[in-house]
Amino acid sequence: MLYIDSIAKGIVIDHISPGHGFRIFQYLKLEKSDYTVALIINAPSKKKGRKDVIKIEKHTDLDLRIIGIIDPNVTINIIRNEKIVEK
């Protein structure tokens, strides 16, 4: 099993339908980032069977408004001190 560390501060975009993670990654222009970003594709999910996840370390001021249009099932978690402070 692949293990991706938790992040201390940043954003986790979770419960992305399989195949939509890369579209969100491109929309947010994360390929141009100078901070750590993890795009996990087809991760196991108890609810959906499979899901995509994006973890963005140390950066929290992204325009996330259109993500719900790309995939309405997405959850966005704001992380501080390794804890979810906002969903």
Confidence of residue 1 (pLDDT cuts 50, 70, 90): low
Average pLDDT, whole number, for the chain? 89
Query: Which secondary-structure segment (H or E) carries 41?
Result: strand 37-45
**Is 74 a member of any domain?**
yes
**Is 5 a member of any domain?**
no
Contact between 21 and 80 (Cβ < 8 Å): no
**Is 4 a member of any domain?**
no
Q: What CATH number did the domain enclosing 21 receive?
A: 3.30.70.140
Q: Is the per-residue pLDDT at 74 higher than 90? A: yes
36-52: per-residue pLDDT in tens? 999 999 999 888 899 99
CA distance linking residue 68 with residue 76, whole number of Å = 10
**Is 17 a member of any domain?**
yes
Range of the domain at 63: 10-86
2-14: per-residue pLDDT in tens? 777 788 999 999 9
CA angle 17, 21, 24 (to 5 degrees): 115
Number of domains, the chain? 1
CA distance linking residue 64 with residue 53, whole number of Å = 14
**Is 3 a member of any domain?**
no
Q: What is the pTM of this model?
A: 0.89
